[in-house]
Structure 1
Amino acid sequence: MVRLQDFYKDKKVFLTGHTGFKGAWMAAWLQQSGAIVKGYALPPEYDNGVYDYIRPADSVLDDIRNKLVLNQAIQSFQPDFIFHLAAQPLVRRSYEIPAETFDVNVTGTANVLEAANNLLNPCTIVVITTDKVYENKEQDILYKEGDALGGHDPYSASKACAELVVSSFRNSFSNKAIASVRAGNVIGGGDWNKDRIIPDIVRALSNGQVIEVRNPVSVRPWQHVLEPIGGYLRLGALLQQDPAKYAKAYNFGPAPDDHLTVKELVEKAIAIWGNGQWKDASKPGQLHEATLLKLDISLAKKELQWTPKLNAAQAIEWTINWYKQPAANRQAYTIQQINEYMQ
């Protein structure tokens, strides 16, 4: 059994996207576990995220499309592990910058894998994509790792393409162990991205405004950010020990019976906050966003012995409670939540 509290101690971990929402939480977890972390990402797009409270001492702020700088950063560090999270991660933004979304998410992934392939030492690589890589039929089914890839919007399609890049590198170069991971709709403290439901809720509630909800009846696989991160780290450990068995794709999401609509999430968040109102802001002809998406997590449960620790209601409570903390307490509260989750 892998004990994550101990496994990454003194391991050298190269983490792309460490200034973003999920990447910053992962950096915090790794540092709390005693790992030697080097981050590589663009400067953060917003203030008061987890990155502002917990910054790796070794950090390169640059673009993953800058092959020279990226390769130098990886070669000089000689990592034991690479976790690749850097991306253009927003569905609605991908409609505004479709070509750039493909460039970052597809070419950027290839750049990371090529640089890693040039390492002489063994290095275990986990590439983070998304639950939206599947050809979503908008039906009440659980998508498995072997189901057809697709993607309606440029973001989803670009991540499906990134999965093909991972598969190609895994099949073409046998000197590195590479896996990919597909997580559901991740929530947690410190996310201030535009057009994401939790930041929209918190901004509205903080300013005494009515929350505008675009797709209240849409169903999503909500999970707290620490759930998939724990899965990624567990996979990384097992992948290093047995590459032949674990070099594949894995889904990480909530239990099959633990899916909420956007409306249910908003109402639970309001109840935890203590007050607030919402309204349906759906518009005819608005940009397409999936209305129904569920993941089959049986492979991760069977092979990785990973299972969700928090249900959707608990994930929302942990998330809203983070935002209710005064700024001076958020660093300590982030570590507190990580420690509570690990225990």
Structure 2
Amino acid sequence: MIVLRALVTGASGFVGGYLTDRLTQLNYEVMGISRTEGLQNKSRAISYNCDILDQNKIEFAISEFKPDYIFHLAAPAYIPNSFKEPKHTYNVIFNGTFNVLEAVKNIGLNPKILYVSSADVYGRAGNRELISESDNFDPINPYAASKACAEILCKQFYETYGMQIIIARPFNHTGPGQADDFVCSNFARQIAKMSKSMSIDSKLLTGNVDVSRDFLDVRDVVNAYIELASHAKIGEVYNVSSGVPITVRNIINLLFQESGIKNYNIVVDQEKIRQREILRRTGNNEKLVAETQWKQTISINKTLSDLYNYWRENV
């Protein structure tokens, strides 16, 4: 029996953790690398603990492990921080991607590489009814711009060196274990805390609740990444999305419904309003569905229920 090897960058992150778990369940031999820890089949591997900006260590990890697949997730994920640290954002996302691609080229391997970009590269295109992969870049923050630059880099390595690179553009995703910097997890934590304390003052602090987004469960997202790496066309770009918008207000209502709290107040906190907020962003997932065996299996109601119960156990 042939055992396939998968290397995951950013393995200690929210999505990276789910991806390494899922790959392990599917009997891949998995190497996870990040700044904080290196993992081999979920056991700590000190020699693979490295920063994505350390090209020598990245090259060592890839040359030693010899992966069949590389899932490149490593990146600072919280967009507001990209305004505070734009140079760091560009450095990790663009130069980190260059280090991975250059290491593969130098070693002479030819693994399939899934580069995980972001739907944020579409920027204001998000105000259209449904965004397709053919829509142009229009990044409006350092995170999105650096992701767009890294995509161009991937395209160049594919064209110049024939490397087997596929690009995923995930839309919003959430699930149990997500940090409370992110909108759904933040609301779920606040509401779980209210529920446990039996607070009379059920006041939820929010940003703009009338924006709509396209949410997937993180477990569906990592399944999409594996399907793309296995079956997608080399050199192509794929949205990873549900294709269905939901407003932040509806997400809040579903979380309160899960909690059983009937009387609550939504209070807009001006500090939570993002600069140049995109009002609507929904992704067309027809290409992903048509060219792989992926399909959404977890509803937004189930995702929010699991997320709320996660915080009930952790506040």
TM-score (norm 1): 0.81
Does structure 1 residue 304 correspond to structure 2 residue 297? no
Which residues of 2 match residues 180-329 of structure 1 at below 5 A? Answer: 180-194=167-181, 196-208=182-194, 210-239=203-232, 245-255=233-243, 258-275=244-261, 277-283=264-270, 286-325=274-313
Aligned to 1:20: 13
Aligned to 1:150: 138
Cα displacement (A) at 1:249: 0.7
Q: Secondary structure at the match of 1:145?
A: coil
Q: Deviations over 1:210-243 (max 9, x none)?
A: 331102011110110011211110111125xxxx
The residue type equivalent to 2:176 in the other structure is G
Equivalents in 1 of 2:265, 2:15: separation in Å?
Answer: 26
The residue type equivalent to 2:177 in the other structure is G
The residue type equivalent to 2:152 in the other structure is L
> Structure 1 residues 202, 319: closer, same or farther in 2, change over 3 A?
closer
Cα displacement (A) at 1:124: 0.9
How much identity, in percent, do the aligned residues show?
24
> Structure 1 residues 235, 286: closer, same or farther in 2, change over 3 A?
closer
- Structure 2 gap segments, 5+ residues each: 195-201
Equivalents in 2 of 1:90, 1:282: separation in Å?
Answer: 18
Q: Secondary structure at the match of 2:75?
A: coil
Cα displacement (A) at 1:305: 3.4
Does structure 1 residue 159 correspond to structure 2 residue 147? yes
8 Å contact 1:13–1:83 — kept in the other structure? yes
Equivalents in 2 of 1:278, 1:165: separation in Å?
Answer: 47
Equivalents in 1 of 2:49, 2:124: separation in Å?
Answer: 35
Q: Deviations over 1:148-185 (max 9, x none)?
A: 112111111111111111111111111x3110101110
Aligned to 2:32: 39
- Structure 1 gap segments, 5+ residues each: 1-5, 45-50, 240-244, 328-343
8 Å contact 2:192–2:308 — kept in the other structure? no
Aligned to 1:47: none
8 Å contact 2:72–2:115 — kept in the other structure? yes
Aligned to 2:56: 68
Equivalents in 2 of 1:312, 1:266: separation in Å?
Answer: 12
Which residues of 2 match residues 107-186 of structure 1 at below 5 A? Answer: 107-174=95-162, 176-186=163-173
Cα displacement (A) at 1:147: 1.2
Equivalents in 1 of 2:235, 2:49: separation in Å?
Answer: 29
Equivalents in 1 of 2:126, 2:229: separation in Å?
Answer: 31
Aligned to 1:11: 4
> Structure 1 residues 30, 235: closer, same or farther in 2, change over 3 A?
same
8 Å contact 2:121–2:137 — kept in the other structure? yes
Q: Secondary structure at the match of 2:124?
A: coil
8 Å contact 1:231–1:306 — kept in the other structure? yes
